[in-house]
Amino acid sequence: MKSTLLMKTEAPISLNFLVYVQNIFLNRNRSRNEMKFPYITSKFEFREDFDMRYRELWNVVSKRIAEHSINFLEDEKNIIYQGLFAQDDNTLNEYNEIYRSFIVWWRSIAGGFSVERSVDEIGQQIYTDLASLLVEKGIQPQKEFIISYIYDECLLFELEPSSYYAVVSIRDCFMNYKGLVQKLQQSILLS
């Protein structure tokens, strides 16, 4: 049997922005040695139920990407602000600073381009190993499989596999490779 796996990879700006905001939120209670990028010294006022709202937003955004493979941060900008930040003029200004900071980083060579390039080679290996595993098990994919890469881990909740769609951190690509291929296979089997 020949492999029929079609796989698309991308580094969605909207999910990566959510990781960026998550890290700012988590850095508030971390020691210097545990900090995540970006390190921002300002204290931002987040919603009390940040964790729950973050998960809800993540699910909405990732579902939209999985179903339509359209990824525009501008569409989610206000939804993210309203969902995660306390609502007043001061936090709106702070949020706009976070947003601009992210956009400048993402559009630089060190941002989105580096995220995508860092997984180029291993992405090819993922495709090869996943395609081989599916052939070995006699599984024929029914549609295109989409992988969204994020620059850092989603730490507020465990990412659940969904049908023909997976979100993968760069860290998982390099530190949890064997488990990653099995997890990706599960996404295909969920159909």
**What is the full DSSP assignment across 112-128?**
HHHHHHHTHHHHHHHHH
In-domain check, residue 18: yes
Residue 171: phi and psi, rounded to 5, are -60, -45
**123 occurs within a structural domain:** yes
Residue 132 in domain: yes
- Number of structural domains in the chain: 1
Interval 79-119: pLDDT, tens: 999 999 999 889 999 999 999 999 999 999 999 999 999 99
Residue 75 banded pLDDT, cuts 50, 70, 90: confident
- Examine residue 1 and state whether it is found in any structural domain, yes or no: no
In a domain, 22, yes or no: yes
Residue 12 placed within a domain: yes
